[in-house]
Amino acid sequence: TQLLEQSPQFLSIQEGENLTVYCNSSSVFSSLQWYRQEPGEGPVLLVTVVTGGEVKKLKRLTFQFGDARKDSSLHITAAQPGDTGLYLCAGRGAGTYKYIFGTGTRLKVLA
Amino acid sequence: EPEVTQTPSHQVTQMGQEVILRCVPISNHLYFYWYRQILGQKVEFLVSFYNNEISEKSEIFDDQFSVERPDGSNFTLKIRSTKLEDSAMYFCASSESGADTDTQYFGPGTRLTVL
């Protein structure tokens, strides 16, 4: 069974601080996506990474896919209150249509 | 920007009743999915659908569930006889292709409450 563990589960930081969220598995994924989800809404896609070692940047967000495609990280630089939300990673294995979702990291950025 | 839409946003039903959740995937997408999220838990895959057939389903997707593409735009999830434990947010998603690296785009969800 493929599992994705995210850490930390909860994170409360001050505006302007940097943070990193981790997404780890013992399984290899063909692709991995990061989402942000607001309460009562569907996950909104932030990025898809597909190549081991790949780094993608989205403004102040930097996403990295591990060399072995088993893990990923999301780094936020100079966090802002608008970054507050639930961040989810989801991985997809070869030959399957389904994404396995991680446990989520709930981020709160205080002004 | 094209997006996946879902109706209704909230459905309340009595235990044992049938419900149909509706989704309109992005127009040029060929692969469709349903996921669910029980309150406070992870998003879980239910089923994928392509070319009018189920291509993959999870152990959650038992005989009480069915999916259909009744016309060229809608994709539906039917629960025949709802149980209390079916209460959850149900998300529809679609993708252009079924490739491992293809992106799935999610709708806003339907909150199903079974009383």
Q: Is residue B14 part of a domain?
A: no
Please check whether residue A10 touches B, CB under 8 A: no
Q: Is residue B11 part of a domain?
A: no
Chain A residues touching B101 at Cβ < 8 A: 30-31, 48, 50
Q: Is residue B13 part of a domain?
A: no
Please check whether residue A66 touches B, CB under 8 A: no
Q: Which of B33, B89, B103 sits opposite A97 (nearest CB)?
A: B33
Digit-coded pLDDT (tens) for A12-56: 999 999 999 999 999 999 999 999 998 878 888 899 999 999 999
Greater confidence (B11 vs A41) lies with B11
Total structural domains in chain B?
Answer: 1
Digit-coded pLDDT (tens) for B19-53: 999 999 999 999 999 999 998 889 999 999 999 99
Q: Is residue B10 part of a domain?
A: no
Q: Is residue B58 part of a domain?
A: yes
Q: Are the C-beta atoms of residues B89 and B110 closer than 8 Å to each other? A: yes
In sequence order, which ranges of B1-115 are alpha helices (DSSP H)?
none
Q: Is residue B104 part of a domain?
A: no
Taking residues B63-90, what's their average pLDDT?
Answer: 95
Q: Which of B42, B98, B107 sits opposite A42 (nearest CB)?
A: B107
Domain of B65, in residue numbers: 19-95
Calculate the average pLDDT of chain A: 93
Beta carbon pairs, A and B, within 8 Å: 61
Q: What percent of chain B has pLDDT over 70?
A: 100
Rounded Cα gap, residues A18 and B58, in angstroms: 38
Domain of A29, in residue numbers: 5-110
